A and B are shown apart, each in its own frame.
Chain A
Amino acid sequence: MTLPPGLEAILTFLQNWWVEIVCGVVIVAVVPLIAGYVVLVERKLMADMQARLGPMRVGPHGLLQPIADALKLLIKEDIIPDNADKLIFWLAPVISMVAAMTSMGAIAFGPAFQVARDINVGILFVVGVSSLGLLGIILGGWASNSHYSIIGAIRSTAQLVSYETAAGLAIVGALLLAGTLRIRAIVDAQQQLGVWFIFLTPVAFFIYLVASIAETNRAPFDLPEAESELVAGYMTEYSGFRWSLYFLGEYANMIVVGSVATTLFLGGWLRPFPNVHWLDWLDFLPPLIIAGVGVYCVYRAGKQPVEIQIWFMWAVALACFAVAVIFAAPLFVTSLKFILPGLHGAFWFLLKVSGYIYLFMWLRFTLPRYRFDQLMHLGWYILIPLAIVNVLSIGVAMILESEFGWNRWFAALLTSLFTLGIAAFLVNLYDKRTAAASSPATAAATDPYAG
């Protein structure tokens, strides 16, 4: 039987690409759910750090709160201001979310889970495409036709353009060590060296951490939506579903920067000490951790006040046990051994990303918000020069190692200390400058960056 050529082409297309299509659909379907639960975790953590309980009403310990929130957002009235530019107002949140989701396509969540086949410029793709979300913010702020929105958009643009430079230079540091832009090759390089890049260039990791907080518009750098100054910044006029698109984009972006940091500095999907064989028992950790969560759920189930919540906790516990069995199976059944790297790789990767996001939240609840000119000074006067010096010193360390036969650790330590010295110098310079600026004689001079 001969198929018409068009249908045949479609069939071969599906045959070649079904893995990618399935992975893409899974990402688009799962990321909103994950984002919802990240919000729940954030609220719970904030409550914990402020000695409160946080959401407790919907489901046991508020476990169904994200779903209730999503439903509420979907049925809320969708308001478009009269004088807004309707088309762009409609388009802007979509841009924000599509950019975050697309960049997720190139991230390798483990050696087996990657939507786009490993492209040559993987890490650049992730960073570049996720930075397009800025267009959504700036257009949304403009289209709302409101002062708060446009000030938020302008702040956001200035902030993101500045910190993208610092983040890019920090990434260059790790890329120099890896010698490639391919995501898998970067992780493989860390396996070959036997060390995560964070230990070779801690300064680059720190710069990326600060810059990525600024890029995701989170406290202490959440000036584009500073609620005490700008109501809600660029999303003041948004409500309901459109607002939740922005929100989703923001949390998806957190996952993206967390994945970039994990890939570049924290060894990607490798377990701790991947080359040390007497630590091979670490392979048993993932099923044990998941089963431990299940046991904890069983323990909490006995303390629930309502019967249905007891059943719910039991269901969660059973799900945990089932997942733990899936994770343990390849360790004991030889014929299933081939799924071990993929499965456990994804576990370690997601664990590291969650650790990074936890750090974000911790910083958010700990530090007060920056003033806008302080933010700009931090970016331009400290982080960018520091990142440039760091790139140079990594280059020097690599030459010392390869040409002069120095010990790698010694070279890395020496150049890192040099970079830290430069950092101390820059901070000192900045302190002097602000001290001079805040003296009454020059206080009248306006700051061009102040937004």
Chain B
Amino acid sequence: MLDSIAFYFFAGVAVLSAALMVTRRNAVHSAVLLVTTLLATAGIFLQLRAEFIFITQIILYVGGIMVLFIFVIMLVRLDIALHHIRFRLQRWVALFVALALGVEITVVFLFARRLPGQGLLIQEPAPADKLPPNTEELARSLFSSYLLPFEIASVLLLVAMVGAVVMAKKRIDQ
């Protein structure tokens, strides 16, 4: 009962603010609404008893990435830039992507229903006190089964970071 109230609350907030985010003209307003969407998604993670994912979502996406987004929006005066650049093509690209995503979701929905026992609805979850502490579980699987992908991802991020520093430095030196 309480679980479903929490779920519908967070889901409603997430969908509503996502819709508002897309339709706002002001980039900073959009960013604030995106923060709301991310926080509501974090709430859903918490309601699924995935505390670690919940707090990572808040620290990384809301506390880190969104702050940098707003920072960039403030610095480059996006509202002025948008008047100069008119993306004619963008409308068609967006339409195509939206259609592709819609078809994909419909297909998943239809096929998931047909397979018995593998529907989208998860069966009764384990009670909260029986779950293993998921920070430890996550660390264990990251550093044992998924060690190679994890390391590759971190090297990739390091390369991107070094690349960004080198590019920034070149422009300063000139």
Instruction: Using CB atoms and an 8 Å cutoff, list the residues of chain A in contact with chain B.
Output: 9, 13, 85, 87-88, 91, 119-121, 124-125, 127-129, 131-132, 134-135, 138-139, 142-143, 150, 153-154, 157, 161, 164, 181, 446, 448
Contact A448 B168 (CB under 8 A): yes
A379–B170 alpha-carbon span in the complex (Å): 23
Contact B74 A129 (CB under 8 A): no
A128–B67 alpha-carbon span in the complex (Å): 13
Instruction: Using CB atoms and an 8 Å cutoff, list the residues of chain B in contact with chain A.
Output: 1-2, 26, 28-29, 32, 35, 51-52, 54-55, 58-59, 62-64, 66-68, 70-71, 74-75, 133-135, 168, 172
| 26 sample A-B contacts, Cβ–Cβ < 8 Å, listed by A number | A9-B2, A88-B32, A91-B32, A120-B52, A120-B133, A121-B52, A121-B54, A124-B55, A125-B55, A127-B59, A128-B55, A128-B59, A128-B63, A129-B58, A132-B63, A135-B70, A138-B67, A138-B70, A138-B71, A139-B32, A139-B70, A154-B71, A154-B75, A157-B67, A164-B63, A446-B172
Measured CB to CB, the nearest residue on chain B to A87 is B29
Binding site secondary structure of chain B: helix
Chain A residues near B135 (CB-CB < 8 A): 120-121, 181
Contact A128 B28 (CB under 8 A): no
Measured CB to CB, the nearest residue on chain A to B131 is A120
A91–B70 alpha-carbon span in the complex (Å): 15
Chain B residues near A121 (CB-CB < 8 A): 51-52, 54-55, 135
A163–B146 alpha-carbon span in the complex (Å): 31
Tell me, rounded to whole Å, the shortest Cβ–Cβ distance linking A100 to chain B. Answer: 14
Tell me, rounded to whole Å, the shortest Cβ–Cβ distance linking A6 to chain B. Answer: 9
A150 and B74 contact, Cβ closer than 8 Å, known pairs A9-B2, A124-B55, A181-B135:
yes
Contact A119 B71 (CB under 8 A): no
Total contacts A to B, CB within 8 angstroms? Answer: 68
- From B29, B62, B75, A135 is in contact (CB under 8 Å) with B62
A143–B70 alpha-carbon span in the complex (Å): 12
Chain A residues near B1 (CB-CB < 8 A): 9
Chain B residues near A128 (CB-CB < 8 A): 55, 58-59, 63
A13–B168 alpha-carbon span in the complex (Å): 55
Contact B2 A13 (CB under 8 A): yes
A125–B28 alpha-carbon span in the complex (Å): 26
Tell me, rounded to whole Å, the shortest Cβ–Cβ distance linking B9 to chain A. Answer: 14
Measured CB to CB, the nearest residue on chain B to A179 is B136
Q: With A88-B29, A124-B55 given, can you name 15 additional A-B contacts, CB distance below 8 Å?
A: A9-B2, A85-B26, A85-B28, A88-B28, A120-B52, A124-B59, A127-B59, A128-B59, A132-B62, A134-B67, A135-B66, A139-B32, A154-B71, A157-B71, A448-B168
Tell me, rounded to whole Å, the shortest Cβ–Cβ distance linking B21 to chain A. Answer: 14
- From A120, A154, A448, B74 is in contact (CB under 8 Å) with A154
Measured CB to CB, the nearest residue on chain B to A16 is B2
A132 and B58 contact, Cβ closer than 8 Å, known pairs A120-B52, A138-B74, A448-B172:
yes
A134 and B51 contact, Cβ closer than 8 Å, known pairs A142-B74, A448-B172:
no
Chain B residues near A150 (CB-CB < 8 A): 74
Chain A residues near B29 (CB-CB < 8 A): 87-88
Tell me, rounded to whole Å, the shortest Cβ–Cβ distance linking B59 to chain A. Answer: 4
Measured CB to CB, the nearest residue on chain A to B66 is A135
A150–B70 alpha-carbon span in the complex (Å): 12
A198–B74 alpha-carbon span in the complex (Å): 40
Chain A residues near B133 (CB-CB < 8 A): 120
Tell me, rounded to whole Å, the shortest Cβ–Cβ distance linking B137 to chain A. Answer: 11
Chain A residues near B26 (CB-CB < 8 A): 85
Residue with the greatest number of chain A CB neighbours at <10 A, chosen from B62, B63, B67: B63
Contact A161 B59 (CB under 8 A): no
Chain A residues near B64 (CB-CB < 8 A): 161
Contact B51 A135 (CB under 8 A): no
A380–B8 alpha-carbon span in the complex (Å): 43
Contact B59 A131 (CB under 8 A): yes
